[in-house]
Structure 1
Amino acid sequence: MAMSTSSEEEKAQLSTFVESDDNEDEERTVWSKKIEGLLSLVGLCVGLGNMWRFPYLCMRNGGGAFLIPFILCLLLCGFPIFFLEVSLAQFTGKDALHTWEACPIFRGIGHGMVIATIILTFYYNANTTWIMYYLGSSFTSPLPWRSCDNDWNTEYCISTRPSNILEQVSNISNVYVSNGISMTENITGRQSSNLTNPETHMKHEYVTSEEEFWQYKVLEMSSGIDVLGHIPWHLAVCFLAGWTLVTLCLVKGVKSMGKVVYVTATLPYILLTVILIRASFLPGAMDGILFFLTPDFEKLKEPQVWVEAALQVFYSLCPAWGQLIIIASYNKFHNNCYRDSILLTILGEGTSIYGGFVVFAVIGYMAHDANLPISTVVKSGPGLCFVVYPEALAKLPLPNVWSVMFFLMLLSVALDSQFACAEMIIAAITNHFRVLRKRQLLVNVCVCMTCFLFGLFFCTQAGIYVYQLLDWYVAVSLPVLGFIECMIFGWIYGAERFSRDVYMMLGRGIPVFVRICWCFVNPIVLLVLFVFTFVSYKPPTYGDYEYPAYVNLVGWFIGLLPLFPVVIIGVLTVLETPGGSILEKFKASFRPSPSWKPVSSKYALDYKVDRTLPLGFWKQMKANVFGNQ
């Protein structure tokens, strides 16, 4: 009985300790309310990839059976790495560029993250541009993509899918994006049908009006990446409007961003629910949902299914990009980030499953209406959002209403991801050049204006080809950056040392399960993902268009670019580290620098890095995994 009372008192003390936020660094920017930080992370983790990639992956890899590797990968990989970055950021209170002083030789991974995010920021707002144009067009009656009597249509345009033939899968490139981010796969085929004229035996390619609107009106596609063409005025205007929205929402940094996410992070759930309810009453909707969930357990024997599950978890939760770090760095020092990490990983990936119900309910209706197999209608990437869904919504009563709701939902999802990207760049600049902190508004405007000017490249007639190229390669290096993170806090700095830092914040250390994942599971999985990227590599294509060989070389350069600063800054750090010989400098560069300390002034004054870990590999491994008992 006495032991029970003592335990309850200890829990009460820890609870009080965790909720206390005294002695925070007065110069540090923090979220006005805890809910603002949570919603910002929700907005980051729930990206376009949850809507246009996961449902397709689930269908292709065994339906409901795919949820088994997906949930296991979420538990073993997604949550531990998510918690690592969130707790690291909360402890240091620094952005991705400046938070790696626990192991100075790897400072360059912060620079690599910033480089990858800059590349992503330049082209990601193209999604917002397309969405805004569709949103504006949704107020036009009839919907402009529904008919074939427009000046952009060709003689092979059809406004209704023929039901007497078997269509092939769309040729539109399928882009894997998570919130930003992103792996890419091209699925061959075209949203068209080859019809044979019995009299002339000539084959003609018939294209739906929705696809012609997307390719010939919205994109005004050129013949290839070498033919830039002009910038369509409607894309330039929407691109400017997108960056204006981002600038206004970040006008006061996280203070204004924290208010905006009340709308942008919650609105998608409301609209998804409304669309799901409406779609559920459509003929064929339940067939689509059953097609989505019907398990094929034989698929679980294929290694690629498990790899794709890990890829989806890794990229949708956004580790190794640095955006998690910048958002979590604004948390209060004693915020319970362990509980938040559990909640956010479940909510973020649960949204993928929920979005699958919405997508397949509508696709089931489309297949029923056209008397086609569901598999011929399913797509991933922009083809789903800008061709298939508009086609389905146009057939509903009050099509303009449903179209507005759908693209408003996509706009909210896309803006959340863009906020995090822009804020990460802005924070890296203001934290590196601290004098600019007093000119936050000017920095925000300059960053957004620069991104707008460089991003106009993606509004050209060749913009979709460049978009596809960057999205195909930009994430190549991320598994390597994530691997280095795990090695630092699993082995070099050590899970036991970092556990004591976490105890300082939360009143509890790092669970053994998470330690095992950091030390063993996560590094192995990330290496497998990196190797799989090369083994399964296929050059990008867009429909029938194949990129020139030199363009693929440029793509590989861009993909590997984030790794360059890891090597360069690592060498420079070794040379600048005090020591009598290169070997001594090298060893010293793995030790925490004086800048490694908690952001809370209460703990920073007396903070000293714990160097009591036992010598010897086996003893150190035991301490990192089970604690220094």
Structure 2
Amino acid sequence: MARAQWNSQVGFIFAAVGSAIGLGNIWRFSYLAYEHGGGAFLIPYFTALLTAGIPLLILEYSIGHERVGSAPLAYRKIGRRWEWLGWWSVIFVMFGIELYYSVIIAWCLNFFTLSFNLAWGNDPNQFFFQEFLRVSDSPGEFGEIRTPILYSLIVIWLANWFIVYRGVQKGIELANKIMMPLLLVLTLILVFWSLQLEGASHGISVYLTPDFSKLTQPEVWIDAYSQIFFTLSLGFGIMIAYASYLPDKTDITRNAMIIAFINSGYSLLTGFGVFAVLGFMAQSEGKEIADVVNESIGLAFVAYPKAISLMPGGNLFGAVFFLCLTVAGLSSAVSIIEAFVSAMIDKFSLNRRLLVTFVSALGFIGGTVFTSQAGLLWLDIIDHFITHYGLILVGILECIVIGWIFHLPTLRRHINAISSFKVGAGWSFLIRLFVPFMLSVILLGDLIDEFRQPYGNYGWTALILIGRDWLLLTLILALAVSSRPWKNKPQQARQSGQRAD
């Protein structure tokens, strides 16, 4: 079976940027910048980008391109005993992150329609948690399925299915060529509109004013590295699969730098819009920025709707904002599905269209748990365990397997033979020692915090049965799938060098 390829380098860049840019670029980066020294946060942020983000992106692109395969196939070509690692990442991302991420996109779609008549009323906090989600008191109290969210989830999964069903060129590449320019236009509209609001300049000042004293705090640097790792979709298996669709001659290092800087530039751009709106809100209510800023979900579904209700033409602004979130989320969601679909096709030579249909139906069914009244609580626990433990462990093992077990100079020769920017011993040092060290520090810090106090004040039973066991179940599935024989014997690497087992 001939391997699919991107129609153009531009198509690949749009798709990779679409995967990297997601909801976290819009709400998490801005909050971290505010919390960790404003403009001063850019120092650890770009340090993390240069010493971990770009080196790891080059690593994932090169291994997918040189080994010509999805994450499981690429690791299988490195050594039979490492195939499970590729499967673990694509399985817990597909049947973990994708399930709840699609539900968050469904919320965005709901709020897009609610924006036209500002249906959240005067108290968006009460509306979101008590009326829209109707959050239960504990993860064990499922309550009812929230039908408005369920209906929107159907729409999101139909969109996911339609895009991935059409394949690499006519589906993912074409969709991202439409969605990425649309996302940029919507974002620019929001930012310029926000900058015209009264109080916007105060918000921008708070966003950018550097507090260099914050840089002495270790957690500032740890959060910078965490943000870079997650925002570039590292450890997801996505970038490995996407790189495997590139032609023989492709500039890996240039593409990695372009995609990394576009992603970070987008985060910086949206920060202006976010804090301009928060500045307007603070002035309108006679409060300080600290009293109106919210972290994560609260920023998008509580703080922003409140600001939207206060501004002239707020209903249209709200519609553009939530459409922007929906597009950003959808471009990331389809990349997760493709990483899993690519792996299944590589191993079992399955029919793409039947497989995508089955996976989409299964994803929708699995996601319904997050549409229940306990959905937000399940989402919070599973997201914590997957992003703080699963992805970090995959990142550490990725560096160990490729940096120490695989013959890294083979990969460097491959990169340098086709790339304009050459990598040398410094890149090898980052992959072998520095990046796994930083990821280990993040992992250790999370474990220490976990044992000091259970995450989110949930009970240990809920954390173990929902969070830990979700990860363990996906690990068992990964080991089971990796033990199955390949329908087609994996081919050798694209370049001569270390061969597959």
| TM tier, smaller | over 0.9
Query: How far has the Cα of 1:610 moved from its partner?
Result: 8.2
Q: Distance in 2 between matches of 1:595 and 1:507?
A: 29
Q: Distance in 2 between matches of 1:319 and 1:560?
A: 20
Q: Equivalent of 1:549, from 454, 460, 485?
A: 460
Correspondence list, 1:13-412, <5 A:
27-100=2-75, 101-117=77-93, 118-139=95-116, 141=117, 143-146=118-121, 159=122, 209-255=123-169, 256-412=171-327
Q: Equivalent of 1:428, from 327, 330, 343?
A: 343
Give a deviation string over 1:570-615, Cα, whole Å, max 9, x none. Answer: 9x89xx9xxxxxxxxxxxxxxxxx957334xxx5xxx45389xxxx
Asked if the contact 1:477/1:560 (under 8 Å) is kept, the reply is no
Q: Highest Rg: 1 or 2? A: 1
Asked if the contact 1:105/1:569 (under 8 Å) is kept, the reply is no
Q: Distance in 2 between matches of 1:454 and 1:562?
A: 14
Asked if the contact 1:125/1:418 (under 8 Å) is kept, the reply is yes
Structure 1: give runs of 5+ residues left out of the alignment. Answer: 1-25, 147-158, 160-208, 577-593, 612-629
Q: Distance in 2 between matches of 1:595 and 1:483?
A: 25
Q: Distance in 2 between matches of 1:121 and 1:442?
A: 19
Asked if the contact 2:341/2:356 (under 8 Å) is kept, the reply is yes
One-letter amino acid of the structure 1 residue matched with residue 111 of structure 2: Y
Q: Equivalent of 1:517, from 430, 436, 454?
A: 430
Asked if the contact 1:106/1:566 (under 8 Å) is kept, the reply is no
Aligned to 2:403: 490
Asked if the contact 2:105/2:326 (under 8 Å) is kept, the reply is yes
Query: How far has the Cα of 1:565 moved from its partner?
Result: 7.4
Q: Classify 1:92/1:284 alpha carbon distance in 2 versus 1 (closer, same or farther; 3 Å).
A: same
Q: Classify 1:564/1:237 alpha carbon distance in 2 versus 1 (closer, same or farther; 3 Å).
A: closer
One-letter amino acid of the structure 2 residue matched with residue 113 of structure 1: S
Give a deviation string over 1:363-388, Cα, whole Å, max 9, x none. Answer: 00000100001011111211111111
Identity of aligned residues (%): 27
One-letter amino acid of the structure 2 residue matched with residue 107 of structure 1: E
Q: Please tell me the root mean square deviation across aligned C-alpha atoms, in Å.
A: 2.3
Aligned to 1:598: 493
Aligned to 2:377: 465
Asked if the contact 2:88/2:475 (under 8 Å) is kept, the reply is yes
Q: Classify 1:520/1:232 alpha carbon distance in 2 versus 1 (closer, same or farther; 3 Å).
A: closer
**Does structure 1 residue 536 correspond to structure 2 residue 449?**
yes
Q: Classify 1:41/1:553 alpha carbon distance in 2 versus 1 (closer, same or farther; 3 Å).
A: same
Structure 2: give runs of 5+ residues left out of the alignment. Answer: none
Asked if the contact 1:477/1:563 (under 8 Å) is kept, the reply is no
One-letter amino acid of the structure 1 residue matched with residue 445 of structure 2: F
Q: Classify 1:569/1:229 alpha carbon distance in 2 versus 1 (closer, same or farther; 3 Å).
A: closer
Query: How far has the Cα of 1:426 moved from its partner?
Result: 1.5
Give a deviation string over 1:67-95, Cα, whole Å, max 9, x none. Answer: 11111111001110011001111122211
How many residue pairs align between the two structures? Answer: 490
Query: How far has the Cα of 1:500 moved from its partner?
Result: 2.3
Q: Distance in 2 between matches of 1:565 and 1:267?
A: 38
Secondary structure in structure 2 of the residue aligned to 1:134: helix
Secondary structure in structure 2 of the residue aligned to 1:98: helix
One-letter amino acid of the structure 2 residue matched with residue 244 of structure 1: L
Give a deviation string over 1:296-332, Cα, whole Å, max 9, x none. Answer: 1111111111111111111111111111112222111
Q: Distance in 1 between matches of 2:428 and 2:158?
A: 43
Q: TM-score, with normalisation over the residues of structure 1?
A: 0.74
Q: Distance in 2 between matches of 1:473 and 1:524?
A: 20
